[in-house]
Amino acid sequence: MVKDANQPAVARKSYKIEAVGRALNVLEELAEKPGLGVTALANEMGLTKSIVFRLLQTLEESGYVHRDPERATFTLGYRVALLGERVGRDGALLHVAPPIMDELRDQTGENVNLVIREGSYALALATREGLHAIRIFAQKGRKGPLHAGGASMLLLAYAEPAILERVLGSELKSYTNHTITDPEQLSKVLHRIRANGYNVALNDLDDGAFSIAAPIFNASGEVVAGLSIAGATVRLDEPQREAYIEAVQEAAQKISAKLTLG
């Protein structure tokens, strides 16, 4: 069927949420012109003062906008800076880590995971699927606990005291019979992880699975991620264990070096 060129085109359905778009516009305006008040922002954006006031109040409560109570003006809040830091950190990791993860996967044949800490959880930032017929494969974007798993416990071991206190003071969920749920015992294991500079986890998150992880450092010497290889415990004898520890540490050091060089 040939369309008549004079017929109006069918309007494409829009899923845009106006309030979200306006909130983003507020942030962009404050980025360009910090220190505006409600009236000035309303004039700049062509909106009513009541709408702008509600947008600012919502953004302020979430930390994306800071209000100067004396001048009644607004600037970008701390949450924007945290997002910027996160994009820079994770963006750099995702730039330098993939080829090294590929090398580690090809060297060991096991799954390779790049894991970061997000608050009180571990997040799989990137993964590489292993080459063996029997695999333990974590999905990218998967969130998990900090008290179980190779890279997760490693990140907890290097976390700041507030995070350690929060996790150790919470109820530690059991995932298998090997999950550590006693805070005192977990604290001792975390101390050992820091002393060793790596973590070997066996059957604590998934029965029949191991995970060996090493820390990735930034230029300031802070641990920003954990690199792990994971697979079935039936393949992990003592010589393989030592070889895997060496391999994952070497790969993590390569990524750290690239992050340090920028």
Question: Where are the chain's structural domains?
Answer: 18-76, 82-261
- Calculated CA dihedral for residues 130, 221, 88, 23, nearest 10 degrees: 110
pTM, two decimal places: 0.68
Residue ranges of the chain whose pLDDT lies below 70 = 1-14, 81-91, 133-140, 262
Expressed in angstroms, the distance from the first to the final Cα of the chain is 57
Backbone phi, psi, residue 19, to 5°:
-65, -40
CATH T-level fold of 82-261? Beta-Lactamase (3.30.450)
Give the distance, in angstroms, between the CA of residue 209 and the centroid of all CA atoms in the same chain: 23
Enter the tokens of residue 37. Answer: 């008040």
pLDDT in tens, 22-34: 999 999 899 888 9
Backbone phi, psi, residue 202, to 5°:
-125, 115
Report pLDDT for 198: 98
Enter the tokens of residue 21. Answer: 């778009």
Compute the distance between CA of residue 143 and CA of residue 149 in angstroms, rounded to an integer: 12
pLDDT in tens, 152-175: 999 999 999 999 999 999 999 999
Are the beta carbons of 260 and 218 closer than 8 angstroms?
Answer: yes
3-state secondary structure of 184: helix
Q: Is 134 exposed, middle or buried (0-12, 13-18, 19+ CB in 10 A)?
A: exposed
Asked whether the CA dihedral 126, 131, 132, 134 is positive or negative, the reply is positive
CATH T-level fold of 18-76? Arc Repressor Mutant, subunit A (1.10.10)
Residues 6+ apart with CB under 8 A from 99: none
